[in-house]
Amino acid sequence: MLYLEKITIERVKNSRLPEIDFSNIPFGKIYTDHMFLADYNGGEWKNFRIVPYGYMQISPATPALHYGQSIFEGMKAIKDNAGNALVFRAHDNLNRMNISAERMCMPQIPEELFMESLRTLIDLDRNWIPTEEGSSLYIRPFMYSADEYIGIRPSENFTFQIILCPVGSYYSTPVKVKIETHYTRAVAGGTGYAKAGGNYGGAIYPAKLAQDKGYHQLVWTDGVEHKYIEESGTMNVMFVMDNTLITPALSDSILAGITRDSVLTLARHWGMKVEERKISVTELLAGLERGAVTEAFGAGTAATIAHIELIGYEGKDYHLPPVEKREFANKVYKELDAIKRATKPDPFGWITKM
Ligand SMILES: *Cc1c(COP(=O)(O)O)cnc(C)c1O
């Protein structure tokens, strides 16, 4: 209740909701009626406000535009039968946002501010949460420098903002991925573990080169030798090899995905053998050749599980078994979906009702 009574609300005059065709929502293009903003200056958060979603005024000299002083988060909510919004692991997203903030010399967001602004905004735009099978409300909190100064230094002014975006059923066709051996997403000592804007801008070009060759996305490898697997696109990557769930151990060049953690938690809960460790490209390819790699998938909020159909390396494609045969990935997808929709119990306390 620390911030709740301080949030001012300016409602839209006319909701855009009646115009939206919920049976056909493109990802990331439609936003709800309202957005939340808060300003940081003089060492504190202030001006908590919800206003109609729309264009904003920012200084042309803000370091957010020039030097990438910006961070973001991504999470999802669904609506249960009683009309409650169920938000998945919001506290974990906040923790991660604060880790990103520290790395980028930005202020921490207090838990009450994050949760209360989210609650107020979601409550106002509750009717925007799609109810169609598989659809959800994507929540995008972000923070950026609001200084007017093109020198490079820690900023003094920041804006914290939340926008909401209904998303349709993300039916993911299995993806073709290519192991990247030249470009690098993140390096030791860099910002790969933070959800910082620049990490993504720099990844678009190498991903496009792979797309021109017929792949959907890249499997990133370490920035020193390109010898060890790191992530897949903007998802964490996992393999079932010799009946063991294997994923790269976290490091400062790997983003600590909340889906990753959820999948590992469930696998351990089910008694499956789990290994978080280095996986070399050589080991993976050898595993694929001897048929020991029975599953490969990306894990992230957008799709939850993105099955990998084939893995390309230096011109050769290594195919994986058909998706129907992937017992673990299909089971974990179903279980996570049921927990998120509260059609199954939530043994790990992942759901916040709003
Ligand atoms: C956001 C992200 C992930 C997945 O994180 P989730 O919390 O599961 O959505 C993985 N890798 C990168 C690089 C990311 O930006």
Q: Where are the domains of the chain?
A: 4-169, 175-340
234 C-beta closer than 6 A to ligand 1: yes
Residue 137 has pLDDT above 90, yes or no: yes
Quick one: CATH architecture of 4-169? Answer: 2-Layer Sandwich (3.30)
**What pairing do the DSSP bridges indicate for beta strands 70-72 and 136-145?**
antiparallel
DSSP per-residue string spanning 86-107: EEESHHHHHHHHHHHHHHTT-P
Distance of CA 254 to the CA centre of its chain: 13
Task: Please state the pTM of the whole predicted model.
Answer: 0.97
* Structure confidence at residue 132 (pLDDT): 85
> Measured between alpha carbons, how far is 204 from 220 in angstroms, rounded to an integer?
12
Our CA angle for 215, 183, 285, nearest 5°, is 60
Contacts of 247 (CB under 8 A, 6+ apart): 236, 237, 238, 239, 260, 264, 275, 276, 279
Of 277, 256, 254, 274, nearest to 265 (Cα)?
274
Q: Which residue has the tokens 């991903």?
A: 207
> Measured between alpha carbons, how far is 156 from 277 in angstroms, rounded to an integer?
39
Atom 12 of ligand 1 has which residue's CA nearest to it? 234
Of 209, 263, 214, nearest to 237 (Cα)?
263
Establish how many alpha carbons lie within 13 A of residue 289's alpha carbon, considering only the half-sphere containing its beta carbon.
Answer: 8
For residue 141, the CA-to-ligand 1 centroid distance in Å is 14
Q: Is the C-alpha dihedral spanning 338, 340, 346, 348 positive or negative?
A: positive
For residue 268, the CA-to-ligand 1 centroid distance in Å is 21
Burial class (CB in 10 A: 0-12, 13-18, 19+), 297: buried
Residue 4 has pLDDT above 80, yes or no: no
Kindly state the average pLDDT of the residues 290-297: 98
pLDDT in tens, 238-266: 999 999 999 999 999 999 999 999 999 99
| Whole-number average pLDDT of the chain | 96
Atom of ligand 1 nearest to the CA of 262: 8
For residue 191, the CA-to-ligand 1 centroid distance in Å is 13
> Measured between alpha carbons, how far is 41 from 106 in angstroms, rounded to an integer?
11
Are the C-beta atoms of 350 and 338 separated by less than 8 Å?
Answer: no
Overall CATH class of domain 175-340: alpha beta
CB count in 10 Å sphere of residue 3: 17
Kindly state the average pLDDT of the residues 288-310: 96
> Measured between alpha carbons, how far is 233 from 300 in angstroms, rounded to an integer?
10
Pocket test for ligand 1, best of 301, 340, 350 (most atoms within 8 A of CB): 301
pLDDT above 70 covers a percentage of the chain that reads 99
pLDDT in tens, 95-118: 999 999 999 999 999 999 999 999
Atom of ligand 1 nearest to the CA of 185: 13
- For the chain, what is the largest distance between any 2 Cα atoms, rounded to a whole number of angstroms? 63
pLDDT in tens, 208-243: 999 999 999 999 999 999 999 999 999 999 999 999
* Structure confidence at residue 40 (pLDDT): 98
Residue 286 has pLDDT above 80, yes or no: yes
pLDDT in tens, 8-56: 999 999 999 999 998 888 888 999 999 999 999 999 999 999 999 999 9
For residue 292, the CA-to-ligand 1 centroid distance in Å is 27
Residue 1 binned pLDDT confidence (cut-offs 50, 70, 90): low
Are the C-beta atoms of 124 and 108 separated by less than 8 Å?
Answer: no
